[in-house]
Chain A
């Protein structure tokens, strides 16, 4: 929303701070100001000039003019009378008119925010005429859309040589760009009146709304020959006020008006007097208005007198809008109908069939409020984001439909005569009262306001406040639809006096309980990165293609139905596919060997819902190990896994791989993968990725991965007592090699060695050093390095030999 600072200041008392300070104060106490557009030099060197003579150039659309600039422009060639020669292409240029002339050296205002503003100068036209500066059209002045003719200025006020900014003093303006979002609950601030009231409040000034706003009474008697039925559903349309008016003359604006410049400075455009008056009043109060052609309205409905029915649209109904587009309505839309025939999409746009035009004799002016919930859906369904609907979706107050309608009547008195007013709501509801004790205010804010101070703050923005003891009872003005409970008043008091005046004080409270999952993740992150692995974050969403590549079933995934990007279709079931998906790009740029890991949440439909009725989540760690130069990645990945667990004092058992029923682990090669068991529970999987999967992802054969459940790891950490292998007696060092059948599994022999050592109650460290297989041999050699000692004595030579003999005879 754009707010003209000049307009804002009108009606405020004396402001003894600079504009910058005022903007800062607005930012601190009302709403974020995203930017200030300084237009104070936008109209420099633009003069009111009188056209003294016009000479049509034959066979062109051009007119050679002499203009009187009151001799204000410097360094310019003038004729004997002191007039300046300007060529003009506009058809409406005529002798004695007043125009806005952009002097040589000035910037054309419509280009002033461009990267290269256009500076006007002297131009040679038709190879023979010198033309100095230009007489400007409304669009060039950035004051309208019109480019058909040049702007004509009111001869009653314009004088040759007057600056345009003397004629329209408010043109030297600063425009505040307001962040709408934090005013979502404040429909009143979407009109300058409400915004100004707030600014008065934060400046400590007492604001009084104009009488026409507070006490709206028609100044004319209803013409009883005019009848109008209004039928509304109060849920969809809390109030519908309509005024019937007749035209009393052609509504044309011959000269540029203050109002047109104001519309422009508020981000809108002057169009025609009736539309301009609706827009002006919307900018003034936040209340959008709409004008229908009364006679067309009757014709569409086929009745003698108009009958307005506001109702929910019927699904599939069609309506041609004023912009020519035909839309298909749905049941959430609200329509204005003429005797049940839709003529406007409520709050959004009028229909083509009832639009006012040059022949309009009578007008129905609509001033109404609609359900913001429905309008929000209308906005989304039809993609209409007008100034009006932006205001309607904040929920305009029903109390202002009549005042604003009558204000429109007043503004259009020159060309519209009011005939009758009709209103769906005859009695004004009693204004609500909200109470708050000053203790409550101070307890919530940490302040020490007195009752009188709080009362004044609220009264400044037109709450009526009575005080009983420590309690303030505030009567809520009709435009404050956001005030319902004591906390709402507390917000007003804190905000208007400035939150920044509240003293920050640290509270005392107890110490925290560490979160074990977080602590675990921090430790894993540090350890894995120190072991050369790279932590990554990948999206929680995956494309169906990835499921297809790795073989997972999309049926087991929660599917996103409204994503604007096709890449985000499903919520991932496991982390490994996302990691695999990121490997190829790294290979391609030259990384041959790396380990990527991620810790994140996953969701599978097969896991069902938790106690809150939302999908069960799982915390996972996954690591992918890839080596372009080796096919032994399985053992690399395993090495990482066991090291992480060893550091937590945990031992796991690797068991033959079992395919999961929900296909979540389908991408592991079953013959080269394992289930990781921790204390009898499945911690996760470790394995080589299937060759087909790797081929689809363009990854080297043998790439391996593991994924483990961090929740189980947290639950188990500390459950196994850490074994110390320390002794004060000397350790014996030995290397052993066992020759075993080629098909034998390594662990069974390692276990046998351990059993020998355990049986002798020794302390030991056992480390595999190699697995050797000679070509074609039926056996393989398992080599270990062994250190052992006795906890209570130095081992004698024969004791050592006995142990070694036992180990070497393992079969």
Chain B
């Protein structure tokens, strides 16, 4: 291995060589440029490695078992007034705590999934335009960073269907991080959080679903609330609805405005069937809504980009 200085000199020479490109006939320039670039990249890589190696030799080992450095002060924690919890996570904790108190088990959503869980298991026909509405990212292998927490529905149904045999209901909330392939601006993020709910039993009804959702939001906002719905469309629920609550007092509501909180509906029989649950015996409902919006409403934030920016100026607003 040559020394760092030698390699750097070689790189300088190569750069001088590159200047000769102008003297070459046009048709040879591309090949020449490409060759020089390859050499340059190789050299740069060698320089990095050589630098790293040189540094490695110079590094002094430290005693990993010691509590502090030689002659150093004993470590101390930063004071509590520096610390903060992320507002999205504290909000998610609140949401989860309410669902748990309401008897919902919790299963976290995955951050990398496949076409089967994201679409097929949810009764999206192959190639159906409804799949486009989700603007999914894809990996080389065809895996999908999921665009909704519904990607967990099939797993939830399979993991908990034993409860139905035991004469109990499946009641699970699924929080998680989801992704949409879109440009980021004040109101759009490609990364955000949702929470899904899944409920299946022998005799549950759409009326039960409305009651559970109302109960959740009444707990969440600490007041009684009026609710309303509007028809929606999701391939995995039938009927499908959008669920709205009256704007709560804590958000400046005066009993007139409505907030669209989530999409919901009775689970499509095909979704139950695919998870090995007999839709003639059981039915269920499911819903999903965003967490980021709850936080933005709570604090009157108008730029969603704060959440993943990791700026201490913003985070310290949430010091405990």
Q: Which residues of A contact B (CB under 8 A)?
A: 27-32, 181-186, 372-373, 376-377, 380, 393-394, 443-447, 485, 487-488, 490-491, 494-495, 499-500, 502-507, 509-515, 517-518, 521-522, 525-526, 528-541, 558-565, 568, 571, 579, 582, 585-586, 589, 591, 593-596, 599-601, 603, 612-615, 617, 619, 631-632, 634-636, 638-640, 643, 654, 656-657, 669-674, 686, 688, 690-692, 745-748, 750, 768-773, 780
Known: A373-B128, A559-B139. A639 touches B214 (CB 8 A): no
List the 8 closest A-B pairs by CB distance, nearest first: A532-B78, A446-B207, A446-B205, A747-B65, A504-B211, A491-B239, A582-B310, A515-B106
Known: A532-B77, A561-B139, A643-B77. A494 touches B239 (CB 8 A): yes
Closest to B101 in A: A512
From A487, A495, A502, A771, B269 is in contact (CB under 8 Å) with A487
- B129 located at the interface, meaning its Cβ lies under 8 Å from any Cβ of chain A in the complex: yes
| Chain A residue contacts of B122, Cβ below 8 A | none
Known: A446-B205, A771-B66. A614 touches B110 (CB 8 A): yes
Closest to A530 in B: B80
Known: A526-B85, A533-B83, A614-B117. A560 touches B207 (CB 8 A): no
| Chain A residue contacts of B268, Cβ below 8 A | 487
Chain B 65-108 near chain A by CB (<8 Å), digits 1 or 0:
11111111111111111111110111001001001111111111
Closest to A564 in B: B181
CB interface residues, B 110-146, toward A, < 8 Å: 110-114, 117, 125-130, 132-133, 137-141, 143, 145
Interface residues of chain A: helix, strand, loop or mixed (majority): mixed
Cα distance, A632 to B68, chains bound together (Å): 7
Instruction: Find out whether the CB atom of B179 lies under 8 angstroms from the CB atom of A540.
Output: yes
CB interface residues, B 274-299, toward A, < 8 Å: 283
Cα distance, A692 to B58, chains bound together (Å): 12
Instruction: Find out whether the CB atom of B315 lies under 8 angstroms from the CB atom of A534.
Output: yes
Instruction: Find out whether the CB atom of A515 lies under 8 angstroms from the CB atom of B110.
Output: no
Cα distance, A770 to B129, chains bound together (Å): 68
Instruction: List the one stretch of B19-27, B182-190, B246-254 in contact with chain A.
Output: B182-190
Instruction: Find out whether the CB atom of B203 lies under 8 angstroms from the CB atom of A443.
Output: yes
| Chain A residue contacts of B204, Cβ below 8 A | 507
Instruction: Find out whether the CB atom of A635 lies under 8 angstroms from the CB atom of B169.
Output: no
B225 to chain A, nearest CB (A): 11
Closest to B111 in A: A601
Instruction: Find out whether the CB atom of A615 lies under 8 angstroms from the CB atom of B310.
Output: no
B12 to chain A, nearest CB (A): 21
Cα distance, A533 to B315, chains bound together (Å): 11
**Can you name 22 A-B pairs with beta carbons within 8 Å?**
A184-B233, A444-B205, A445-B207, A447-B205, A499-B229, A504-B207, A509-B201, A512-B100, A512-B102, A525-B85, A535-B315, A536-B310, A560-B145, A571-B111, A589-B311, A589-B312, A603-B112, A614-B117, A671-B60, A692-B55, A771-B66, A773-B71
Q: Which residues of B contact A (CB under 8 A)?
A: 48, 51-52, 55-56, 59-86, 88-90, 93, 96, 99-108, 110-114, 117, 125-130, 132-133, 137-141, 143, 145, 155, 168-169, 171, 177, 179, 181-184, 190-191, 199, 201, 203-208, 210-212, 214-215, 227-233, 235, 238-242, 266, 268-269, 283, 307-313, 315-316, 319-320
Cα distance, A384 to B203, chains bound together (Å): 47
Instruction: Find out whether the CB atom of A589 lies under 8 angstroms from the CB atom of B313.
Output: yes
From B71, B128, B171, B207, A503 is in contact (CB under 8 Å) with B207
Known: A512-B100, A596-B310, A613-B114. A529 touches B206 (CB 8 A): no
Cα distance, A495 to B237, chains bound together (Å): 14
B189 to chain A, nearest CB (A): 10
Q: Which of A394, A445, A635 counts the most B-chain CB atoms under 10 A from its CB?
A: A635
Cα distance, A792 to B56, chains bound together (Å): 54
From A181, A394, A447, B207 is in contact (CB under 8 Å) with A447
Instruction: Find out whether the CB atom of B313 lies under 8 angstroms from the CB atom of A673.
Output: no
| Chain A residue contacts of B113, Cβ below 8 A | 614
Cα distance, A494 to B238, chains bound together (Å): 11
Instruction: Find out whether the CB atom of A565 lies under 8 angstroms from the CB atom of B190.
Output: yes
Known: A31-B231, A183-B233, A530-B320. A568 touches B82 (CB 8 A): no
Instruction: Find out whether the CB atom of A534 lies under 8 angstroms from the CB atom of B129.
Output: no
B261 to chain A, nearest CB (A): 14
| Chain A residue contacts of B60, Cβ below 8 A | 671-672
Instruction: Find out whether the CB atom of A510 lies under 8 angstroms from the CB atom of B169.
Output: yes
Closest to B107 in A: A515
Instruction: Find out whether the CB atom of A672 lies under 8 angstroms from the CB atom of B103.
Output: no
| Chain B residue contacts of A595, Cβ below 8 A | 78
| Chain B residue contacts of A636, Cβ below 8 A | 75
Closest to B189 in A: A539
Instruction: Find out whether the CB atom of B108 lies under 8 angstroms from the CB atom of A517.
Output: yes
| Chain B residue contacts of A522, Cβ below 8 A | 93
Instruction: Find out whether the CB atom of B312 lies under 8 angstroms from the CB atom of A635.
Output: no
Instruction: Find out whether the CB atom of B71 lies under 8 angstroms from the CB atom of A772.
Output: yes
Instruction: Find out whether the CB atom of B229 lies under 8 angstroms from the CB atom of A565.
Output: no
Instruction: Find out whether the CB atom of B230 lies under 8 angstroms from the CB atom of A593.
Output: no
Q: A182-B230, A373-B125, A561-B140 are in contact. List 16 more A-B contacts (CB 8 A).
A: A181-B133, A487-B266, A499-B210, A510-B171, A525-B85, A532-B81, A534-B82, A538-B308, A562-B181, A563-B137, A563-B181, A582-B309, A639-B75, A671-B61, A672-B59, A773-B70
| Chain A residue contacts of B191, Cβ below 8 A | 539-541
Cα distance, A669 to B145, chains bound together (Å): 32
| Chain B residue contacts of A490, Cβ below 8 A | 238-239, 266
Instruction: Find out whether the CB atom of A771 lies under 8 angstroms from the CB atom of B69.
Output: yes
Instruction: Find out whether the CB atom of B315 lies under 8 angstroms from the CB atom of A499.
Output: no
Closest to A186 in B: B233
Known: A510-B169, A632-B69, A692-B48. A615 touches B74 (CB 8 A): no
Q: Which of B101, B143, B269 counts the most A-chain CB atoms under 10 A from its CB?
A: B143
From B59, B179, B319, A669 is in contact (CB under 8 Å) with B59
| Chain A residue contacts of B55, Cβ below 8 A | 690-692
From B63, B239, B310, A746 is in contact (CB under 8 Å) with B63
Q: Which of A186, A443, A614 counts the most B-chain CB atoms under 10 A from its CB?
A: A614
Q: Which of A499, A531, A638, A748 counts the most B-chain CB atoms under 10 A from its CB?
A: A499
| Chain B residue contacts of A747, Cβ below 8 A | 65-66
From B64, B84, B169, A529 is in contact (CB under 8 Å) with B84
Instruction: Find out whether the CB atom of B266 lies under 8 angstroms from the CB atom of A444.
Output: yes
Instruction: Find out whether the CB atom of B85 lies under 8 angstroms from the CB atom of A745.
Output: no
Instruction: Find out whether the CB atom of B83 lies under 8 angstroms from the CB atom of A532.
Output: yes
| Chain B residue contacts of A639, Cβ below 8 A | 67, 75-77
| Chain A residue contacts of B311, Cβ below 8 A | 585-586, 589
Q: Which of B204, B214, B320 counts the most A-chain CB atoms under 10 A from its CB?
A: B204
| Chain B residue contacts of A183, Cβ below 8 A | 233
Cα distance, A32 to B83, chains bound together (Å): 43
Instruction: Find out whether the CB atom of B308 lies under 8 angstroms from the CB atom of A539.
Output: yes
Cα distance, A532 to B61, chains bound together (Å): 28
Cα distance, A443 to B205, chains bound together (Å): 6
| Chain A residue contacts of B72, Cβ below 8 A | 632, 635, 771
A591 to chain B, nearest CB (A): 5
Known: A444-B266, A530-B320. A640 touches B137 (CB 8 A): no
Closest to B68 in A: A635
Instruction: Find out whether the CB atom of A487 lies under 8 angstroms from the CB atom of B89.
Output: no
A166 to chain B, nearest CB (A): 37
Instruction: Find out whether the CB atom of B229 lies under 8 angstroms from the CB atom of A615.
Output: no
Cα distance, A594 to B319, chains bound together (Å): 13
Instruction: Find out whether the CB atom of B242 lies under 8 angstroms from the CB atom of A514.
Output: no
Closest to B66 in A: A746
Known: A531-B83, A535-B89, A671-B59. A499 touches B239 (CB 8 A): yes
Cα distance, A703 to B139, chains bound together (Å): 33
| Chain B residue contacts of A614, Cβ below 8 A | 110, 112-114, 117, 143
Instruction: Find out whether the CB atom of A506 lies under 8 angstroms from the CB atom of B208.
Output: yes
Cα distance, A565 to B108, chains bound together (Å): 27
Instruction: Find out whether the CB atom of A654 lies under 8 angstroms from the CB atom of B69.
Output: no
Q: Which of A182, A534, A634, A690 counts the most B-chain CB atoms under 10 A from its CB?
A: A534
| Chain A residue contacts of B210, Cβ below 8 A | 499, 502, 504
Closest to A587 in B: B312
B241 to chain A, nearest CB (A): 6
